[in-house]
């Protein structure tokens, strides 16, 4: 048993970003930084939920990860599967206790999100496209979660729409990237059922929809700090163009990583845009 596996299995890089997106959702909803105590609670509920989700995901993905991701903590033997199950329950439980301290709606939404993550890992992931939509939905409600904490939706809806669309695209690209391991495990993902070319078309459709959605906040007066979103759109466009031109797994891997960078830059653009709303675009 490796102690560092307890951090590694959380995939903290994703969950720190998710937690910050939760706070960002509150910020764009009320047009200013939320009360610090509320910001900390939102961050922790999202971070713990995302961490619990990644942990239970690795618990159920043990067999497929032995092929696709053999260096992850469970397939490499750094943590026992049963320990991962108990650890995920602990993370979810702490998250729910903190969600209750925000407000009752926040507790209910966290309960739904946490349940969806378990359901995804246990049953929904093998369902073609449904699994992709569930993951994208969870990333989409993350900014909405922050808005629920401050009891105002505001611009958070635009952030949620873009988060949903870009993650649908990225999840399909990740399925194209993992097609060999998924085939060996008998998974029924879109690229396996439709073929890589058609799946690439759908991934590109959602990438183009993401670009269109990124202009909506301009219409409602987001600040001049949002301008770097043009770099985000260029990155998303390149990822879509590359996978349309060549839908093979290694190209899909590069495109999905481009979308990950685009997501990070988009979060910073939304943040800068919400903090410069006095000077509208
Ligand atoms: C215009 C544009 C691109 C807007 C982006 C909007 C936005 C705020 C997106 C953030 C969404 C979010 C909550 C991201 C959290 C981190 C994340 C990528 C979660 C999804 O993870 C599932 C994925 O399958 C994990 O794979 P990997 O990253 O390879 O470990
Ligand atoms: C709104 C609240 C309270 C929480 C949201 C928490 C967030 C941001 C969830 C985003 C989606 C996410 C990271 C879920 C965790 C589990 C998951 C879907 C991991 C992806 O697993 P796979 O689809 O198996 O892909 P890999 O394991 O190959 O990365
Ligand atoms: Mg997995």
Phi, psi of 47, deg, nearest 5? -60, -45
**What is the per-residue pLDDT for 44?**
98
In 10 A of CB 26, how many CB atoms? 27
**Which residue ranges form the domains of the chain, and what is each CATH number?**
1-154 (1.10.357.140), 156-281 (1.20.120)
Residue located nearest, by CA, to atom 22 of ligand 2: 57
The reply to whether ligand 1 has any atom less than 6 angstroms from the CB of 20 is no
Mutate to test the pocket of ligand 1, among 16, 26, 263 (most ligand atoms within 8 A of CB): 263
Low-confidence ranges of the chain (pLDDT < 50): none
Helix (H) or strand (E) holding 75: none
Residue located nearest, by CA, to atom 6 of ligand 1: 163
pTM: 0.94
Nearest ligand to the C-alpha of residue 232? 1
pLDDT digits (tens, 9 = 90+) for 156-182: 999 999 999 999 999 999 999 989 888
How far apart are alpha carbons 154 and 119 in whole angstroms? 30
Mutate to test the pocket of ligand 1, among 23, 53, 163 (most ligand atoms within 8 A of CB): 163
**What is the per-residue pLDDT for 108?**
97
Closest C-alpha to 272, from 227, 217, 216, 215: 227
Closest C-alpha to 13, from 261, 271, 252: 261
Q: Which residues of 35-49 are buried (b: 16+ CB within 10 A; e: fewer)?
A: eeebbebbbbbbbbb
Query: With contact defined as beta carbons under 8 Å apart, do 9 and 144 qualify?
Result: no
**What is the per-residue pLDDT for 1?**
79
Phi, psi of 223, deg, nearest 5? -75, 170
How far apart are alpha carbons 122 and 124 in whole angstroms? 7
- Percentages of the chain per state (helix, strand, coil), in multiples of 5: 80, 0, 20
**What is the per-residue pLDDT for 230?**
97
CA of 278 to the centre of ligand 2 (A): 35
Phi, psi of 153, deg, nearest 5? -85, -50
**What is the per-residue pLDDT for 23?**
96
The reply to whether ligand 2 has any atom less than 6 angstroms from the CB of 53 is yes
How far apart are alpha carbons 117 and 59 in whole angstroms? 12
How far apart are alpha carbons 217 and 155 in whole angstroms? 7
Q: Note the ipTM here.
A: 0.93
**What is the per-residue pLDDT for 279?**
80
**What is the per-residue pLDDT for 154?**
82
How far apart are alpha carbons 268 and 274 in whole angstroms? 10
| Number of helical (H) and strand (E) elements in the chain, helices listed first | 14, 0
The reply to whether ligand 2 has any atom less than 6 angstroms from the CB of 160 is no
How far apart are alpha carbons 270 and 229 in whole angstroms? 8
**Residue 105 tokens, joined:** 């709606």
Residue 24's contacts (CB-CB under 8 Å, 6 or more residues apart) are 143, 146, 159, 267, 270, 271, 274
Mutate to test the pocket of ligand 2, among 54, 102, 167 (most ligand atoms within 8 A of CB): 54
Q: Within 13 Å, how many C-alpha atoms sit on residue 246's CB side?
A: 9
């Amino acid at each position: 048993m490796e102690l560092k596996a307890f951090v590694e299995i959380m995939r903290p890089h994703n969950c720190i970003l998710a937690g910050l997106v939760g706070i960002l959702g509150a910020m764009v909803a009320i047009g200013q930084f939320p009360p610090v105590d509320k910001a900390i609670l939102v961050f922790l509920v999202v971070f713990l939920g995302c961490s619990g989700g990644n942990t239970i995901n690795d618990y159920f993905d043990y067999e497929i990860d032995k092929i696709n991701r053999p260096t992850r903590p469970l397939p490499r033997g750094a943590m026992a599967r049963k320990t991962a199950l108990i650890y995920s329950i602990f993370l979810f439980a702490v998250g729910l206790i903190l969600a209750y301290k925000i407000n009752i709606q926040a507790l209910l939404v966290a309960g739904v999100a946490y349940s969806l993550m378990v359901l995804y890992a246990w049953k929904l992931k093998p369902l073609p496209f449904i699994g992709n939509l569930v993951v994208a939905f969870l990333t989409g409600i993350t900014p909405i979660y922050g808005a629920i904490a401050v009891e105002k939706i505001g611009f958070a809806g635009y952030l949620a729409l873009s988060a949903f669309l870009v993650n649908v695209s990225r999840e399909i690209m990740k399925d194209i990237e993992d097609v060999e391991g998924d085939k060996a495990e008998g998974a029924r993902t879109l690229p396996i059922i439709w073929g890589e070319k058609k799946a690439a078309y759908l991934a590109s459709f959602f990438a183009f929809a993401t670009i269109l959605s990124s202009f909506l906040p301009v219409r409602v007066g987001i600040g001049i700090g949002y301008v770097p979103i043009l770099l985000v759109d260029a990155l998303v466009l390149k990822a879509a163009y590359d996978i349309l031109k060549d839908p093979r797994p290694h190209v899909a891997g590069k495109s999905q990583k481009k979308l990950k960078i685009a997501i990070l830059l988009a979060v910073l653009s939304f943040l800068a845009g919400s903090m410069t709303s006095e000077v509208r675009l």
